[in-house]
Amino acid sequence: MPGFFFPASVLKPASVLLLGLLLAAPLGAQQAPARLIPCRKGTKWGYADQSRRVVLPLLYDEAGPFVQEVAWVRIGSLYGYIDGGGNPVTPVHFTRAGSFVQGRATVELGGETFQITTSGQRITQEPEPAPETEFLTQGDMVRQNGKVGFRFTVGQAVVPALYDEIQENYNGLLFVRQGTKWGVINSKGTLTLPLEYDAIRAVEANNFAYAIVEQQGRFGYLAEDGRLLVPIKYSAAEPFVASVARVTTPDGRTGYIDVRGREFFD
């Protein structure tokens, strides 16, 4: 696995660890399904379309998701990048490689770490800092007798003050905790996921969509409606990148799933 992916240890904390109450903008439209998805047969990787038809052949020892129509691939111990037609963007010569974020990917070559553009050019200047933005939350926290509830700004929904902690994901959902267990409430105040889970972790890079849900050492994902996208069954789960997420099954098989929860391996 490339060194710039989230390792499984990051996704298996010793205790429940969640993002603090962050201020962020609403998501808006749902993520579009990925055009090409990494797929694996045996030990070789290629890319399939939404019909699970292999369109880029199984040539690689590992493959990453397409971001801005560029994906990393590994042959042997070295990495390179290809475009959506399978054409090389860079040589396969990097010792580490990551997916693109805002037009930049981090690579390692000859013991040196640097960033490249989607055309494979080395970047020599630092990215400009993002402008500061002031965001509004979805509503107001309500505290009563040591417990917390929530009153949504839009609509009439009120969450009674029954919980020990409430986190927002700014997609019309609330993550709520009673004791050590977490559940999910939607913008109508309805509990869409029962209070049975050990952790729910959202990622800012995904605008807090498709949170990772943990239960008894196994992982799954939260759909945008507050229900489970896939069952809690994976031994490791990484955040979604460009509408796909990398997962590992309990028997050690690694592959990708899409935003519909469909597996693209074997």
pTM of the model: 0.73
Domain ranges in the chain? Answer: 37-119, 137-207
- pLDDT tens for the chain, 266 residues: list them: 443 433 333 333 333 222 232 333 333 345 678 899 999 999 999 999 999 999 999 999 999 999 999 999 999 999 999 999 999 999 999 999 999 988 999 999 999 999 999 999 999 877 666 544 333 467 888 899 899 999 888 888 999 999 999 988 767 899 999 999 999 999 999 999 999 999 999 877 666 789 999 999 999 999 989 999 999 999 999 999 989 999 999 999 999 999 999 999 87
233 neighbors 250 (Cβ within 8 angstroms): yes
131 CB-contact burial (10 Å; exposed 0-12 / middle 13-18 / buried 19+): exposed
C-beta atoms surrounding 172 within 10 Å: 20
67 neighbors 242 (Cβ within 8 angstroms): yes
